[in-house]
Amino acid sequence: MSAIPRSEVKLEETWNLEDLFKTEADYDARIKEIESDASAFAEKFEGKVTDAAAALEALKDYEKLYEKIIPAGTWVSLMQSEDQTNSDSQMRAAKFGSVMAKTGAKLSFFESELSQLPEEELKSAMDQSDEFRIYLKDVLRFKPHKLHPEVEKTLAAYQSTLDAPYDLYNVTKLVDIQFPDFKADGESFPNSYNLFEGEWETDPDTEKRRAAFKSFYEKLADYQHTTAKTYDMHLQIEKTDADLRGFKDVFESLLFNQEVDRELYDRQIDLIMSELAPHMRKYAKLLQKVHGMDRMTFADLKVPLDPSYEPKITIEESKKYIFDALSVMGDDYSEMLKRSYDERWTDFAQNKGKSTGAFCSSPYGVHPYILISWTGSMEDVFVLAHELGHAGHFYNAHNYQGIFNARPSLYFIEAPSTMNEMLMANHLLQSTDDPRFKRWVIASIVARTYYHNFVTHLLEAAYQRKVYERIDAGESVNAGVLNSLKRGVLEEFWGEGVTIEEGAELTWMRQPHYYMGLYPYTYSAGLTISTQVSKRILEEGEPAVQDWLKVLRAGGTKTPVELAKMAGVDITTDQPLKDTISYIGGLIDELEKLTEEIESAEVK
């Protein structure tokens, strides 16, 4: 069961990166082309972006250059993600970062000159070009926060250094930390990030699960001080940037690009912490009762409600679940799903050094790529549906929008992904009346879709907010502070019914999202939207589907509030969130009812 080297995985379980670059030589040629084009762009336009006409002319060349950079950056990133221990990939990524820093410094004049244009010139350019209207709107919005051109150039030159904390975090996590075997039931078992998250966290054997937990967190503890210092370095960079640019705090700085106000951010955290907690505590008690555990611990929260009913699903078998559940999205969407398998868009392999979790990368002009470590559980099918939601989003947005109009606010980014999880759940629920199967499906929704997005990521967000409040107060953090903050959030949410055992406070060490701004809370924000839209699709059918496809195709041309409104959801009020929390509570009530029904039938 221990992870194998990347060189030993089956080709059919890996992604085909040749759609980006067929050879290393092709990639090297692209890098030289980017460097040459950047120099030519600077020579042609530096000091000459003086009016709307010049701005639009430069933007056309800038767009072409950007379209060359994106596939190169994606190729480097994916090569590194598939095996962080590969020294060639590490060095290639470092070199790419250096080249991009130099290129960024060379091109930094452009946005500086754009931001120095009079407002009327920028608005004139916006009126003349739908293609660049969103880009120019962002330039206009950011105008008050732009620094002197020479300062911007210097910061751009240091970009790879400023990004170093995230790289250091990944090296510590995926290269340096080697987990020892652990013992349970008289046997020895291997452990790793992917094994713990993909196998042991959900293992129905309580002794094995808790032993894996203890072993995993004891090893994390050895690296807590280095990881905390790395994170503090990242936080101080964000704080300095926010201060230099005149934002009142880090929150305002990070929410600025999301185009949402602080009220939406705080509401998402506060309402879930207070109103979802009672439902999830009831779910924890149900798990404890069904599994006959003497006490409920943090290590037990991800155990399946009915593990004996959990089918093992091969990659090939996953196609039927994916195609059947998501076919409601129409023929074009279904064709994309088929292509994702046929053309090897997804990396399913489990190997040493592979990035943890799952993600979708969608380079403009190519096709999306998905990373997942396939274990064969139903959870994997939900995860794959989730990542295909991202793929479907950008597949549509890229087909209808230019490169600068395709990407929506981070606030909205998790709505299309969680929508696919809801469509998967709805499809499975409609496929049978068998109580045990229904309980299994609903438990999968609660344990995977809502636990992951509304609990795991939301508790990360609540913790992250406390961290940033500390940073805004002029303080720093270390392992002791981070452990205390994380433990406090976990204890507040789970109450007295769940024991937060030693090690649980180190959960903050597992999540790369903390290096991506205010990302964790957006999972629950996206799922709030997708829950409401999926209910519309169940009730209204095709009209709701068509509305959703229009949202996907809109890409980044609308704000999160506008995109949600297009789908029939008003996120300026707390009603969608309250409705979603109520829906989760209803699912947990249904689990209790089905469990009583099943247990009564078994007694008879």
3-class SS of residue 499: strand
| Predicted pLDDT at 486 | 97
The residue behind tokens 């937060």 is 500
| Predicted pLDDT at 113 | 95
Say how far apart CA 384 and CA 319 lie, in whole Å. Answer: 10
Say how far apart CA 277 and CA 529 lie, in whole Å. Answer: 20
**Extended beta strands in 440-551, E state:** none
pLDDT digits (tens, 9 = 90+) for 227-279: 999 999 999 999 999 999 999 999 999 999 999 999 999 999 999 999 999 99
| Predicted pLDDT at 1 | 53
Give the 3-state DSSP-derived string for 205-254, with helices as H, strands as E and coil as C.
CHHHHHHHHHHHHHHHHCCHHHHHHHHHHHHHHHHHHHHHCCCCCHHHHH
| Predicted pLDDT at 92 | 94
pLDDT digits (tens, 9 = 90+) for 5-32: 999 999 999 999 999 999 999 999 999 9
Per-residue pLDDT, averaged over 349-364, amounts to 92
As given in the structure block, the two tokens for residue 202 are: 């959900």
As given in the structure block, the two tokens for residue 227 are: 């990881």
Residue 147, amino acid: L
As given in the structure block, the two tokens for residue 502 are: 């030693």
Per-residue pLDDT, averaged over 166-178, amounts to 91
pLDDT at 2 over 80: no
| Predicted pLDDT at 604 | 62
Residues 435, 594 contacting (CB under 8 angstroms):
yes
pLDDT digits (tens, 9 = 90+) for 528-581: 999 999 999 999 999 999 999 999 999 999 999 999 999 999 999 999 999 999
Residues 554, 546 contacting (CB under 8 angstroms):
no
Residue 595 neighbours by CB under 8 Å, 6+ apart:
286, 290, 305, 439
As given in the structure block, the two tokens for residue 29 are: 């040629």
Residue 419, amino acid: M
Domain spanning 257-312+377-604: CATH superfamily: Oligoendopeptidase f, C-terminal domain (1.10.1370.20)
Residue-wise DSSP of 16-74: -GGGT-SSHHHHHHHHHHHHHHHHHHHHHHTTT--SHHHHHHHHHHHHHHHHHHHHHHH
Average pLDDT, the chain: 94
Per-residue pLDDT, averaged over 112-121, amounts to 95
Domain ranges of the chain: 6-162, 257-312+377-604
pLDDT digits (tens, 9 = 90+) for 378-436: 889 999 999 999 999 999 999 999 999 999 999 999 999 999 999 998 998 888 788 98
pLDDT at 180 over 90: yes
Rounded to 5 degrees, what angle do the CA atoms 459, 463, 464 make? 110
pLDDT digits (tens, 9 = 90+) for 495-540: 999 999 999 999 999 989 999 999 999 999 999 999 999 999 999 9
* C-alpha distance from residue 371 to each of 15, 192, 346, 459, 558 (Å): 8, 17, 6, 24, 28
Residues 118, 50 contacting (CB under 8 angstroms):
no
| Predicted pLDDT at 155 | 93
Say how far apart CA 574 and CA 263 lie, in whole Å. Answer: 10
| Predicted pLDDT at 309 | 79
Residues 387, 418 contacting (CB under 8 angstroms):
no
pLDDT digits (tens, 9 = 90+) for 431-488: 878 898 899 889 988 988 899 888 999 999 999 999 999 999 999 999 999 999 999 9
Domain spanning 6-162: CATH superfamily: Oligopeptidase f, N-terminal domain (1.20.140.70)
Q: Looking at the DSSP assignment, which residues form a beta bridge with residue 246?
A: none
DSSP state letter for 167: H
Answer with the residue of higher pLDDT: 58 or 604.
Answer: 58
